[in-house]
C-alpha cells in the first residue's frame, strides 16, 4: 500500500509540473500513467486552437485524397483496351455511332475528358451511365444505396455485437472448452464464403422449413423499417464474417491487456472483477477494434455483390461489379468517390474517439505544458 501511495503522490506532483491544476481522485482511467488530471483554462484554449487546426488539416487531406483516388480511377479505366460503347455501337451506322460517341464525350482526347469529368465531379455530377441508358449516377445512388445501406448496417450491428460478446467470453474463459468452441466457430465462419452460407440458409429456412422468403427485399414505405422477413436470411449471411473478425480481434486484445501493470494495480486496490473488466480491460482493449471499424462501416454501406445476387436484392453492389466489367466510368467513379468519402470520414471520427478511449493519446498539435 505504501508503494501505491507513493505512486499516487508522484502522479499528482507530475500533474503540477505539466501545468495541471488538480487531480480528481475519483477518476481512474486504467492507463499506465495513473489518474487523468484536469487542465487549467489556458491549456483549454490552447486545446481548442489545436482542435481547429486539426479539423482544417483533416478536411484538406480529405479533399486531396478523394481527388487522387478519382484521378487514379479515371486513368486506370482509360488504360483498359476498348471503351464502354464498343458492343452497343458495333452494328450501328457510322453516323449514328458518331452521334453516340459525341453524346457521351468519348470522341474527345483523354486529358480533355479528364478535365471535364473532374469539373463535373466538383459539382456533384458524375454524368450518365454508359450501360444503363438514361440512368444517372445520382439517380442510381438515390434508389439503390438505401437498399445496400440497410442490409449492410443490419449485418454489421448484429455481427459486431455478437463478435464482441463472444470475444469477451473467450478471453475470460481462456483455456477452457468454451474458449476452444468459440475460436473454432470463428475459424469456420471466416473460412466459408458468403455464397455457401447464403445457399445453405436459403435451402434450409426458405426451401425446407419455409420460414422466410427465398428472394426479395422491402420497397416503398417498408424500405428502412419494414419487411423484416425479407432481411433475416441476407443479414445472417453477411454477419458471419463480422462475428469471426471481431471475436478474434477482441479476444487477442483483451489477453494482451490483462497482464498490464495498471490491471494488476487495480486488483491490488481491491476493485471487483467486473469493475476491472469494465473500466480497465475493455476500455483499453477497444483500440484495435476501433481501428477495424472504419473499413467495416464503409464496406457495409456500399453493398455485397454475392449476397445481393443470391437473394436478388436490388442494391448497389451488383451494379458496381457490372460497371467495372463494362468500363462504365460514371458508375465506377461515383461509387468509388462515395466509398472513399465514407471511409475517410469514419477514420476521422475514429481518430477523435481514440482520445476518449485512451487518454494517453493526444490530438495532433496539442502540446503539453
- Mean pLDDT calculated for residue range 8-13: 42
Query: Among the listed ranges 1-5, 137-141, 146-150, which one has the minimum average pLDDT value?
Result: 1-5
Q: What are phi and psi of 206, to 5 degrees?
A: -100, -40
Dist. CA 61–CA 204, nearest whole Å: 49
How many residues can be counted in the chain?
Answer: 369
79-97 pLDDT, tens digit each: 877 777 776 666 777 777 7
C-alpha cell at 227: 419487411
pLDDT of residue 95: 79
Higher pLDDT, 93 or 153: 153
Residue 283 banded pLDDT, cuts 50, 70, 90: confident
205-230 pLDDT, tens digit each: 988 888 998 888 888 888 888 889 99
pTM: 0.73
Strands 20-22 and 38-39: antiparallel
- 3-class DSSP assignment, residue 24: coil
The residue written with cell numbers 477495424 in the block is 292
Kindly state the DSSP code that residue 367 receives in the 8-state scheme.
P
Share of the chain above pLDDT 90, in %: 16
- Mean pLDDT calculated for residue range 129-147: 81
Query: Among the listed ranges 15-24, 48-57, 159-168, 289-298, which one has the minimum average pLDDT value?
Result: 15-24
332 and 321 Cβ atoms separated by less than 8 Å: no
Share of the chain above pLDDT 70, in %: 81
The vertex-282 CA angle with 280 and 285, nearest 5°, equals: 105
Q: Is the pLDDT of residue 12 over 50?
A: no
CATH class, 40-369 region: mainly alpha
How far is CA 119 from each of CA 68, 74, 107, 111, rounded to the nearest angstrom?
Answer: 14, 13, 18, 12
Q: Which helix (H) or strand (E) holds 290?
A: helix 282-301
- Mean pLDDT calculated for residue range 8-19: 40
Q: What is the mean pLDDT of the chain?
A: 78
User: What residue segments make up the domains of the chain, in order of their start?
Assistant: 2-39, 40-369
The residue written with cell numbers 478471453 in the block is 171
Q: Is the pLDDT of residue 311 over 60?
A: yes
56 and 324 Cβ atoms separated by less than 8 Å: no
Amino acid at each position: 500500500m505504501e508503494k501505491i501511495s507513493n505512486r499516487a503522490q508522484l502522479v499528482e506532483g507530475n500533474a503540477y509540473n505539466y501545468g495541471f491544476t488538480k487531480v480528481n481522485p475519483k477518476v481512474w482511467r486504467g492507463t499506465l500513467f495513473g489518474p487523468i488530471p484536469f487542465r487549467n483554462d489556458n491549456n483549454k484554449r490552447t486545446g481548442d486552437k489545436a482542435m481547429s487546426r486539426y479539423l482544417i488539416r483533416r478536411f484538406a487531406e480529405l479533399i486531396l485524397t478523394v481527388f487522387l483516388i478519382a484521378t487514379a480511377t479515371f486513368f486506370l479505366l482509360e488504360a483498359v483496351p476498348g471503351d464502354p460503347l464498343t458492343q452497343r455501337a458495333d452494328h450501328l451506322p457510322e453516323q449514328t455511332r458518331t452521334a453516340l460517341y459525341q453524346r457521351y464525350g468519348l470522341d474527345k482526347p483523354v486529358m480533355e475528358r479528364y478535365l471535364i469529368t473532374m469539373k463535373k465531379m466538383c459539382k456533384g455530377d458524375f454524368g450518365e451511365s454508359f450501360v444503363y441508358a438514361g440512368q444517372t449516377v445520382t439517380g442510381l445512388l438515390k434508389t439503390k444505396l438505401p437498399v445496400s445501406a440497410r442490409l449492410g448496417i443490419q449485418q454489421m450491428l448484429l455481427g459486431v455485437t455478437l463478435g464482441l460478446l463472444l470475444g469477451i467470453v473467450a478471453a475470460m474463459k481462456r483455456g477452457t472448452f468454451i474458449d476452444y468452441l468459440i475460436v473454432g466457430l470463428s475459424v469456420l465462419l471466416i473460412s466459408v464464403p458468403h455464397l455457401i452460407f447464403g445457399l445453405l440458409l436459403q435451402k434450409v429456412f426458405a426451401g425446407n422449413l419455409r420460414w422466410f422468403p427465398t428472394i426479395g427485399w422491402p420497397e416503398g414505405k417498408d424500405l428502412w423499417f419494414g419487411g423484416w422477413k425479407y432481411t433475416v436470411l441476407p443479414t445472417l449471411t453477411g454477419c458471419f464474417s463480422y462475428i469471426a473478425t471481431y471475436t478474434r480481434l477482441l479476444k487477442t486484445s483483451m489477453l494482451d491487456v490483462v497482464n498490464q501493470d495498471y490491471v494488476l494495480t487495480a486488483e491490488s486496490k481491491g476493485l471487483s472483477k467486473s469493475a476491472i473488466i469494465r473500466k480497465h480491460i475493455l476500455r483499453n482493449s477497444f483500440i484495435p477494434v476501433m481501428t477495424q471499424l472504419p473499413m467495416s462501416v464503409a464496406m457495409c454501406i456500399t453493398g455485397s455483390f454475392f449476397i445481393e445476387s443470391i437473394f436478388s436484392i436490388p442494391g448497389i453492389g451488383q451494379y458496381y461489379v457490372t460497371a467495372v466489367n463494362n468500363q462504365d466510368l460514371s458508375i465506377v467513379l461515383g461509387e468509388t468517390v462515395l466509398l472513399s468519402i465514407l471511409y475517410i470520414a469514419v477514420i476521422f471520427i475514429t481518430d477523435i474517439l481514440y482520445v476518449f478511449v485512451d487518454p494517453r493519446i493526444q490530438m495532433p498539435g496539442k502540446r503539453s505544458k
